[in-house]
Structure 1
Amino acid sequence: MSSIHTAKPSHSISNYLILITVIVVAGISQGLLLPVLSIFLEQKGVSPGLNGLNAAALYVGSFAMTLVAERLLGAFGFKKLIIGGLIFVMIPLILFPYFPDIKIWFILRLIVGVGDSALHYAAQLWVLLVTAPEKRGRYISLYGMSYGLGFSIGPLGIKLLGFGQAVPFWVLFICMGAVLVLVLMKLPNSRPEKVEQGQMPERRFRRSLTWAWYALIPALLYGYMEAGMNSNFPVYGLRIGMDESQISSLLPFVGIGGLFLQFPLGMLSDRLGRKKVLMSAGIAGGITFMLIPAAGTHFWWTLVLLTIAGGLVGSFFSLGLAYAADLLPKVLLPAANVVASFYFTIGSIIGPNLGGQVINWFSPGSMFIWMGCMYLLFGVAGVFFRRKPELQSVVE
């Protein structure tokens, strides 16, 4: 697999805004597909476990893309990889409502996962490579906010189901088509710069994991939370007595909380350090998740707790990447980005499945207890992580 050292993409504001637009629609696609399809399957009488397994297909496709993303980016460049990702997401969108078969949906979700992973890998690596270290927290936080914005808008598509089951999918297809035209017309055809054979770092994936393991775990936790909430919260809500309208209104507040706190946490991490912010947010977010079952069917208490919890952990993926960029030499960033995408995918596969099984084995609220414990453990684990002294001289 080829490696890349640095990139030739321009740091212009217009290019950055195009990338932000791409990530917004990518967030909308995930925020819409997971809850809408979960509701369809729950209404058909499909068990939460099987529902979660079908939802995980999206992340199996994402996992497959992480295995070849670095090589594809080196061969085709940023623009072509983003275009391919958009097309791979758009085509299945218009097929879901017309082929309501769980086996076909599994295949369609696989394809969406491939496209979504390509979009994220190309866009987030572009941002990391062209951003100065002293501004990395705020820029990557803006990137995360963009995804959170789309992710929050997505579940509102549930309200469009009243106009027909195909309507939400067609609306999203048209939006993504407009973004595809924008990318084709405005985004430069940039290519990553390949590392010379003699400069290629050996065992770069292992080194990324060894030197920045704590910075990469947030990607796994964020993937678990995002996929688990979108797939299992509709089931949780229906099981405890909420209606579809309440569920569709509450679910976006996980992302809305991230919109409020993503940029402040990013700026705070530039000043206080990424590790301190990640540890504090993990502990506080874990406790907040564990309080959600106590709210029961009380709409406003649930809304407040989801907003706080989502705000505290909604920046985990972006801050984790920024922390990895602080810890590692630039030559290892593409490999670290692959590892983070891999972790995100693993978390996203585990989230719907484990959450669905926990609901079956114990109670609906146990999904939040388990999730909260994971974030608490991460926060405490930060005590044992230390930056290797020999990296200090090579990161800058």
Structure 2
Amino acid sequence: MIKVLSGVWPLLLGIVLIMLGNGMHFTLIGLRGAIEDFSSAQLSIITSGYFLGFLSGARFTPVLIRRVGHVRVFAALGSFMSAGLLAFPLLTDPWVWTVLRIIVGFCMSGIYVAAESWLNNASTNDTRGKVLSAYMIAQTLGIIGAQYLLTFGDAATNVLFIGASILVSLSFGPILLSATPAPITEVAPPMPLRNLFKSSPLGTLGIFLLGSIYATQSGMGAVFGAQIGMEAGQIAFFIAMLFAGALLMQYPIGWLSDRMDRRTLIFGAAALGASACILSMLTDYNQWWLMAAAFFAGGVTTPLYALFLAYTNDTLPAEDMAGASGGLVFTFGLGAIIGPMVTGFAMEWLGPYAFWLVIGLTFVTIAGYALYRMTQRAVVPVDDTDSYLNVLPTTSMVAVEAAGDWAIENAEQEAEAEETAAG
């Protein structure tokens, strides 16, 4: 593993720095928005703006890269994002913040596409799985570390926004100085949603609902914490627990995914997430129980994303997997745009604990639909499934397609090894 990372560590360092800055900004929006007396509904629209920009960036960045190249696109988008982070405390208006969030989301999506293209180009068939795993860990650690950095300043001032901007600017150094010319970024066109739903109803509906959960957790979690009277440090710890759970639960769930009916595992993970939400609503503001609920509710969200990708691929021929993955990523993005707004308006009407209510009901819907689909389609034998795709909701289609290619190659190698052993 050390040998594999020796060639890509500058890229991974740059990713950590980007995630530190982006992770700070996500929580800061909730903290500063509460200070500015923005309503839950306004903050939910601001949150959804990021995911609207992110979805747009995933669509248009490959076109920009083909026109002017990876380096120029990465540098330009990074500069715009850094400037956008500085503008938030200077222009404290909810509609201006929505526009800024769209811009930051677009830039962040483009940065992922460029960075992942370099990372994919720097790996081989033999090392791609390990490189992708290291990339996912670097992303998650960056988000968790960002919450710790928030304790060094006051969200009411400009300091933390400036710090986030500096971290994003610093990330350019290791990435641009180490990046080699990358191939033209080509991603498969997404499969039409009608065809995608026909091929995998559970994968399509499940990942749409999961998009709403992920965006609500990451975007509205700080809003919830502020509304129930948490201090800034407690809110930062609450958000960190959402992602710490994802980091620690990804691999056990991935291990189980390759050894059992994935629909059963989807049901179990969603049921665990729903139980955590119920726990949070019954604790009467006990913060340690809230942290435990965040750990488990956040802990199953990221693995479920990878599970839905892997489960959908199980039902498709290899030539359709890239298009299906593109369709799923797009569907996830639609859910991520809608989910925070539904939650924000629910919090406006029902109070802050509507945050857990909406997430819990969404988990219940996923679990119930997984049970229903078990009665509609025969189980795919474990030996006929591809490897679990260790990818995060924050990645672009470049990483998703690379993970899919690795899964196919891994399955082919295992089949060849079995044939050789049998012969």
Q: Pick the TM interval, shorter chain.
A: 0.7 to 0.9
Q: 1:64 aligns with which of 48, 56, 62?
A: 56
Q: 1:178 aligns with which of 163, 170, 185?
A: 170
- State the partner residue of 1:169: 161
Give deviations 1:175-233, integer Å, cap 9, x for gaps. Answer: 222321222121222224869xxxx9996665445434533555434432333224433
- State the partner residue of 1:235: 223
Is 1:43 aligned to residue 31 of structure 2?
A: no
Q: 1:299 aligns with which of 277, 280, 287?
A: 287
How far is 1:75 from its partner?
5.3
Is 1:108 aligned to residue 100 of structure 2?
A: yes
Change (3 A) 1:112 1:203: closer
Distance in structure 2 (CA, Å) of the matches to 1:82 and 1:134: 25
Conservation of the 8 A alpha-carbon contact between 1:145 and 1:262: no
Distance in structure 1 (CA, Å) of the matches to 2:132 and 2:320: 18
Conservation of the 8 A alpha-carbon contact between 2:21 and 2:165: no
- State the partner residue of 2:233: 245
Change (3 A) 1:146 1:233: same
Give deviations 1:115-136, integer Å, cap 9, x for gaps. Answer: 1222344566888897869996
Change (3 A) 1:255 1:324: same
Distance in structure 2 (CA, Å) of the matches to 1:387 and 1:75: 46
Is 1:349 aligned to residue 337 of structure 2?
A: yes
Change (3 A) 1:305 1:103: closer
- State the partner residue of 1:289: 277
Distance in structure 1 (CA, Å) of the matches to 2:126 and 2:185: 20
- State the partner residue of 1:90: 82
- State the partner residue of 1:308: 296
Q: Secondary structure at the match of 1:97?
A: coil
Give deviations 1:308-339, integer Å, cap 9, x for gaps. Answer: 22212232334434444555455445434433
Query: How many residue pairs align between the two structures?
Result: 380
Is 1:262 aligned to residue 250 of structure 2?
A: yes
- State the partner residue of 2:266: 278
Distance in structure 2 (CA, Å) of the matches to 1:86 and 1:326: 37
Unaligned runs of 5+ in 1: 1-10
Is 1:367 aligned to residue 359 of structure 2?
A: no
Distance in structure 1 (CA, Å) of the matches to 2:378 and 2:76: 37
How far is 1:15 from its partner?
5.9
Unaligned runs of 5+ in 2: 387-407, 413-423
- State the partner residue of 1:8: none
Distance in structure 2 (CA, Å) of the matches to 1:359 and 1:162: 25
Conservation of the 8 A alpha-carbon contact between 1:216 and 1:321: no
RMSD: 3.9
Is 1:52 aligned to residue 44 of structure 2?
A: yes
How far is 1:145 from its partner?
3.6
Distance in structure 2 (CA, Å) of the matches to 1:16 and 1:213: 38
Change (3 A) 1:280 1:111: same
* Range with greater deviation from structure 2 (338-347 or 322-331): 322-331
* Range with greater deviation from structure 2 (299-308 or 148-157): 148-157
How far is 1:111 from its partner?
0.9
Distance in structure 2 (CA, Å) of the matches to 1:61 and 1:392: 34
Change (3 A) 1:168 1:297: same
How far is 1:171 from its partner?
2.2
How far is 1:254 from its partner?
0.7
The TM-score with structure 1 as length reference comes to: 0.79
Is 1:339 aligned to residue 331 of structure 2?
A: no
Conservation of the 8 A alpha-carbon contact between 2:314 and 2:385: no
Distance in structure 1 (CA, Å) of the matches to 2:246 and 2:262: 17
* Range with greater deviation from structure 2 (342-351 or 73-82): 73-82
The TM-score with structure 2 as length reference comes to: 0.74
Conservation of the 8 A alpha-carbon contact between 2:53 and 2:101: yes
Percent identity of equivalent pairs: 22
* Range with greater deviation from structure 2 (127-136 or 258-267): 127-136
- State the partner residue of 2:390: none
Distance in structure 1 (CA, Å) of the matches to 2:213 and 2:278: 13
* Range with greater deviation from structure 2 (273-282 or 138-147): 138-147
Conservation of the 8 A alpha-carbon contact between 1:86 and 1:115: yes
Give deviations 1:56-110, integer Å, cap 9, x for gaps. Answer: 2212212322333454465566666555543342221222223333333222211
Q: How does 1:104-183 map to 2 (within 5 A)?
A: 104-121=96-113, 142-162=134-154, 165-183=157-175
How far is 1:170 from its partner?
2.5
Change (3 A) 1:118 1:343: farther
How far is 1:370 from its partner?
2.0
Distance in structure 2 (CA, Å) of the matches to 1:221 and 1:78: 33
